[in-house]
A and B are shown apart, each in its own frame.
Chain A
Amino acid sequence: MTVTPVVAAIGDVDRRRIAGTAGLHVTWDELGVDAPGDGRTFRAAFGRGDETFRRLDVASRALVLASEASGLQDLLTAAQREASALIVATTIGCLDADRQFAASLDTEMRDAPIFPYTLPSTCLGEVALRHGLRGISICLSVAPGDADDALGEALRVLVAGEAETAVVATVDVLRGEPPTCAATVVLLAHPRLALPPVAAWPAPGGGAFAAIRRALPA
């Protein structure tokens, strides 16, 4: 493959904080809420509201916060959003939502609002609709440690000329009280777009997402 993409934006949510190349770095302690936040978190972090954030499942909240923290919305033109690919990898998938819905199977009222979130493509869709990303959309189910496959797939899409930008993400949620979640969103751009890099494109091999994340404050 002959394209070396530019890493143009990064957003990250983990058990301690939200951080991104748009300049945000705020801990959950500072926000006064457990990850990945409640109905007030989006406004508290970004200074504006999000009408539906409150109803999102845990994975979608983490992914939406990470995408917002990356600042990708300020870097892409409307035309670039129209064509931008969106690729998400997850290992655990929707197990948290799955168990929530499964728990309602023996009740009279099945938990209809959570059912769409039992598909990993739904959290991808939450990011797409917030940023108007209308390109190729792919959700990968990956073995532990293989989230970098999403970066590889994005590179193939860029090399094939099917998109000039790709929003690439990984998200996983471990059930618990509170749940443990982690999400990283990376904006990759074809070098001909000349977007300024915020991190080096990592060398092939394991740990690419981790290497990119190191460009953010711990």
Chain B
Amino acid sequence: MNRTTAEVFVAGRGAVTGFGAGRTAFADGVFAGRTAVLPRRRTAQFDVPTTVAAEIPAAAFPTAWPLADQAFHTAALAAHEAFAEAGEPSRRETGLVLASTKADLSGVVGDGDGLGQPWRLGERIARALELGGPVVNVSCACASGLVALAIAARRLAVGECDRMLVLGVDVLHEFVLAGFGSLSALDPGACRPFDRARRGVSLGEGAGALLLTRHRRESLGVVLRGHGGANDACHVTGPDRQGAGLALAVRRALAHAGIAASDVDLVHLHGTATPANDSTEAMGLVSVFAGRTPPAFGTKAQTGHTLGAAGVLETIAAIESLQRGFVPANFGLDDPDVDPALDLVRSPRALPRARTALKVASGFGGIQAAVVLQA
């Protein structure tokens, strides 16, 4: 098939996480080997089977927002940072792809207006930021962020607009904590992806923003080179037991980027810390890379699983790894328990010549997604 492969560049980044407001706080926390998965405070009143979460510290905001406004203000903060890094380009020719699982649940549990529909949040953000381009809202579970990046890249590649802001956001809510708890998918303590002792997810909250552009002159020196997607088509909540869907998404992303698996220098993992997901993710990746994979790391043990924000935030972490020239250790990993051909980094590893990163994600509904970045 002939594929549209016009270059798409990264012009700006923003982040709000359990480490606080700002990309620097996020990246410095991750690369210094710290964790924001801590005893629950704001969500402490909820009766759920875990003691921890990665909550955004109250100091990240000038005021305490009501629940109905938390997702909006979190997303807006990340978006403003991305525009600032990009030098405040025109917003008239900028569109938005919002990635969120539930956006605002204040009207589902409580008397707010939020009905768990991301399009409402997307419209509010686009209005507030005065974005003049198209607005697209994605709800693809934990793969939302990478699916959103692909949607934005597709539009930029054919020149539908000059820039697309890809904004992933989700905030902690009793509904989500209880839901993961009801599925016995929460680790009672801090999660430990890929470790023999892993017992499930630790949830987090936050927002990630990537301002993409089709103009090389606006680039930070980072290219979104390719993207790919697939569906496991075997189960709606559990992974393909061989990781075949993930492998398919990765192969499609590599083909879209026009590179071979051997060109990938590092991998940012999905790494939720559920027993099945981690093992099948490893199997899928190992099947793509002949022999041992490139150095691989995940960050959910540090940021918690931020759901709709995860794909964007973790893509920012992958870019940071390329730019800093090293891969951080997988936090909490003492005793790896997945295919040993997955090169899980155990202590910070220098990769000064690393140029190409692969980022993967999976979500309910069997959705698999991958993106290839070059810096």
**B-binding residues in A (CB < 8 A):** 1, 86, 91-95, 98-99, 101-102, 105, 110-112, 115-116, 118-126, 128-129, 131-143, 146, 149, 153, 156-157, 159-162, 164
Quick check: B139 and A143 within 8 Å, CB to CB?
Answer: no
Give the residues in chain A near B365, CB-CB below 8 Å. 119, 121-125, 128, 137, 139
Task: Report Cα–Cα, A92/B107, bound state, in Å.
Answer: 13
Quick check: A91 and B236 within 8 Å, CB to CB?
Answer: no
Give the residues in chain A near B140, CB-CB below 8 Å. 121, 137-139
**Which residue of chain B is the closest to A84 with respect to CB atoms?**
B231
Say yes or no: is B2 at the interface (Cβ < 8 Å to chain A): yes
Contact of B119 among A98, A112, A143 (CB under 8 A): A143
Quick check: A153 and B122 within 8 Å, CB to CB?
Answer: no
Give the residues in chain B near A137, CB-CB below 8 Å. 140, 147, 229-231, 365-368
Say yes or no: is B58 at the interface (Cβ < 8 Å to chain A): no
Task: Report Cα–Cα, A95/B102, bound state, in Å.
Answer: 10
Quick check: B141 and A134 within 8 Å, CB to CB?
Answer: no
Quick check: B154 and A157 within 8 Å, CB to CB?
Answer: yes
Give the residues in chain B near A95, CB-CB below 8 Å. 108, 115-117
Quick check: A110 and B137 within 8 Å, CB to CB?
Answer: no
Contact of A101 among B3, B179, B229 (CB under 8 A): B179
Instruction: Tally inter-chain residue pairs, CB-CB below 8 A.
Output: 171
Quick check: A125 and B367 within 8 Å, CB to CB?
Answer: yes
Q: A92-B117, A101-B175 are in contact. List 13 more A-B contacts (CB 8 A).
A: A93-B116, A101-B179, A119-B101, A119-B102, A123-B365, A125-B233, A125-B366, A136-B228, A136-B230, A137-B140, A137-B231, A137-B366, A160-B158
> How distant is B172 from chain A, measured CB to nearest CB, in Å?
15
Quick check: A161 and B364 within 8 Å, CB to CB?
Answer: no
Quick check: A126 and B175 within 8 Å, CB to CB?
Answer: no
Task: Report Cα–Cα, A153/B105, bound state, in Å.
Answer: 27
Quick check: A105 and B174 within 8 Å, CB to CB?
Answer: yes
Say yes or no: is B237 at the interface (Cβ < 8 Å to chain A): yes
Say yes or no: is B29 at the interface (Cβ < 8 Å to chain A): no
Quick check: B229 and A93 within 8 Å, CB to CB?
Answer: no
Known: A1-B158, A93-B117, A105-B109. A119 touches B364 (CB 8 A): yes
Quick check: A149 and B179 within 8 Å, CB to CB?
Answer: no
Output the residue of A86, A111, A126, A141 with the most chain B CB within 10 A. Answer: A141
Give the residues in chain B near A115, CB-CB below 8 Å. 179, 182-183
Quick check: A164 and B366 within 8 Å, CB to CB?
Answer: no
Output the residue of B109, B116, B138, B147 with the most chain A CB within 10 A. Answer: B116
Known: A105-B175, A110-B178, A160-B3. A126 touches B236 (CB 8 A): yes
Contact of A98 among B116, B138, B237, B368 (CB under 8 A): B116
Known: A95-B108, A129-B236, A142-B119. A156 touches B155 (CB 8 A): yes
Known: A121-B365, A125-B236, A137-B367. A160 touches B4 (CB 8 A): yes
Contact of A161 among B1, B115, B151, B363 (CB under 8 A): B1
Contact of B117 among A91, A153, A162 (CB under 8 A): A91
> How distant is A153 from chain B, measured CB to nearest CB, in Å?
7
> How distant is A133 from chain B, measured CB to nearest CB, in Å?
6
Say yes or no: is B235 at the interface (Cβ < 8 Å to chain A): yes
Say yes or no: is B341 at the interface (Cβ < 8 Å to chain A): no
Give the residues in chain A near B234, CB-CB below 8 Å. 129
Give the residues in chain A near B105, CB-CB below 8 Å. 98
**Which residue of chain B is the closest to A97 with respect to CB atoms?**
B116
Closest 3 pairs (CB-CB, A-B):
A125-B365, A121-B365, A136-B229
Quick check: A128 and B108 within 8 Å, CB to CB?
Answer: no
Quick check: A94 and B116 within 8 Å, CB to CB?
Answer: yes
Contact of B229 among A1, A102, A132, A135 (CB under 8 A): A135
Quick check: A149 and B236 within 8 Å, CB to CB?
Answer: no
Say yes or no: is B118 at the interface (Cβ < 8 Å to chain A): yes
Task: Report Cα–Cα, A135/B369, bound state, in Å.
Answer: 10
> How distant is B86 from chain A, measured CB to nearest CB, in Å?
24
